Structure 1
């Protein structure tokens, strides 16, 4: 029995390695990022239509704010609420940037005088984009229904414009 006990200890040490007393916090748990929002600026693509640029501009904003929300949500789920608060502030900054940028996108879309059906789909896209953006938060999971509705409206606009 003693040989079995020594064999188990030897095997356990060989498998686990010789770590000293106490373990270091894994790097993936250490949040060292000073989270300052760096908004993505959308470059208007002259070879593309106004409807395409409109949906792409809204998509860029949804991606940026969605990234802040999902990153903060993961941090909050780990119980690091002080770090989640940093993401919450960054998400609020993203919303402010998105409000200004989306207003500019809407004006550019309107000024292009799109056909009536494209304009209607653009309005629908904007409404669903706004609804999706309003569901983003650091302390709640992403609303997949709102995201799917937004993406369906985006696809509908692009499909209608293609024909």
Structure 2
């Protein structure tokens, strides 16, 4: 090759720069995955009343249908009977309580979950503290509850 052709192409170190960039990207991806893996390996702290808080994030999908208990309305079991059957669907009972209302929220959520047990739908319960007490159920393609 002629000297003019080599100088027109520029330096021949381009592959080394690309390799260094790829190594840096791989390092940053590995580093960003470390905190998530570290929290999963630690034992979950015990919360108030001996309840273990969830160690992993809860996946909640958009609801296909929502149920709210109302006076004179259908029960949850009756309502589930009117919904299309899909083995991939999960019923999630959401209970939110004001500070001091934990026992009432647990009892209400347990009552809804018991109504749904005979329907054949996977059931899970999520209870959180909030500004206002609330109780409802969501039928959705959530991540199935762990056994």
TM class by shorter chain equals: under 0.3
Q: Which structure has more helix as a fraction of its residues?
A: 1
